[in-house]
Structure 1
Amino acid sequence: MKMPSLTTVFESPLFHFVTRLRVSHKIWIGFGLLITLVMLVAGLSIHALNRAEQQMSRVVDVSQPAMLQAFAVTEALNRANGALGFYLLSKEPRDRDEYESMSKALDQGLKKLASLPVIANDASLRQRVAEIRKDVDRFLAYQPRMLELAVNDNKNFPGVGFSAREMAPLASAVQQNLGTMIDAERDEDATPERKALLEELAELRQLWMNELIANRAFIAFRGDRNVQNLRLYRDGFMDKVGKIKALGEDVLNFEQAEAIDNIDRIMREYFKLQDKLIAVHNSDKWRTDAWLLRSEIGPLVSRIKQ
């Protein structure tokens, strides 16, 4: 756009009109223009303040309750998850009560959040809260199982349950057969050969007791050293069984020969189960509650808090 020249400006009627005005008139006109400008700025400022007040009112009346309720839900989730961890370690009733109480608060708090107008009237927020609801329901669904694991070692520690259920009956059977072999020796003459056999049987029984003690130590402490002890006593016991079995009917009486055959058969089954125990009890799932917290509940809580 071409700017007007100075000559054109000076020759314009408006310029001639202004130049003919008195100085006092010019002052009043300037003052009037200034007042008009001030009023315009003030009007714009008032409009902006009114708009800001409306927005603030919406935050206070609508958005703030939703934000505070969301914080309350997060707080309940954190406290429920923390109380669960404490209860699994302490087994204290107060930690269990806190876990149950905060789980209820979490459920009720999320229901209240979903019912707020700012959530109910916004499709995207409704969808987000619905997704959180699904994850919270999954979190709450763990409660019965976690409470049971806290008081049931056989279920919480798969190795403990496996050992008690599968291995303990076989261990008792070996002990019974060892007792049978020793009792059967009472009817024999006290010859040097019989005394030597009795010493072998006593040593065999001690090796078996050492094996059982090592098995309990592995369940209690796990670790490579405990596995080595298990296999050390296992090898010693199997070697001794083979040595006694090789004596045959020339030394062993009928009851002893039958019992050593039983021991040989049972111990092989027992040691196969023991290898399974080692695999289970040395895995990441050796403690079920800790594995669930680490692999399932923990990621679920993190996803809810996001």
Structure 2
Amino acid sequence: MKNIHSYILTVVITVGLVLTFISWGVAVVKSPKMVHQVNLPDMIQEVMPSAVHIMCDQWQGSGVALTPDIVATARHVVDGVNYTVTLNNGCRLKGYQAVSHKDYDIGFIKVGSRCVAKRSEHSDEYREDNTFLVGHKVELKPAEFGSIDDCVLGQSVFIVGSPYGKINYNNVTLGIVSGLDKDWDSLSRYGEPYGWKIAFTSDSAAHPGNSGGPVFSMDGVVRGLLVGGFSPVLNCSMPSDLFLDDVELIKMLFAQEKYKVEKENTSGPEDWYGNPIEIESHDYYMSD
């Protein structure tokens, strides 16, 4: 009888250890539209190249690649004129221009295509594939973005960011969606709204420096950008839905910088010999 009890106890302990081990490495994604298992460490490695650290004039933040040359982040992170974006592989790119949403705490940075510095400015070493070679041409790896509407309360998420600056860049924390459809604008301490009228919350640990970082669901899809919080485990994020349909418009805003507006010719048209030409006045219209 004693041997039977020992056998049963051994089986119970073994099963418990196996289940614990599985829970560390495998997450189950549940939402109205998806139910499947994901190996969390592998998923983190897959999405990490899309996450970036952002150095601005007076502060630091986080971000994620929207296109091969545009980074999505928080509006308050792009409040400056000089930007340096560090990729997960250590390559640094110069940010040339930024735009931001008028109503929400969302911003975007256009970056160059050449590395401006290596991982370590005090070393001449770089990897054999020239990833860190100054002047090496690189492109951002765009993340996959999706709607927060495809998620449910209590669903697992993880955040990638740079809490307290570059020393912790691309740090990962795990949590759940703790709140949906929140309006945090009424909580502004300075009278002006933060642009947090449409938000969701999570309990993934976050700190100053995480602002602008991506909030991933377990399938590796960016559901929002972290922008602030009341405590390390009560943070606020802007849903990706706020800009998902505006990607082409954002590209156009940056493309406008390639062109200039010609000054009006106040002297009027002239012929080949420099003599003024009189023309009739016409009204012009924009075609559909």
More strand by share: 2
Larger Rg: 1
TM-score by length of 1: 0.24
More helix by share: 1
More relative contact order in 1 or in 2 (CA 8 Å, sep 6+)? 1
TM-score by length of 2: 0.25
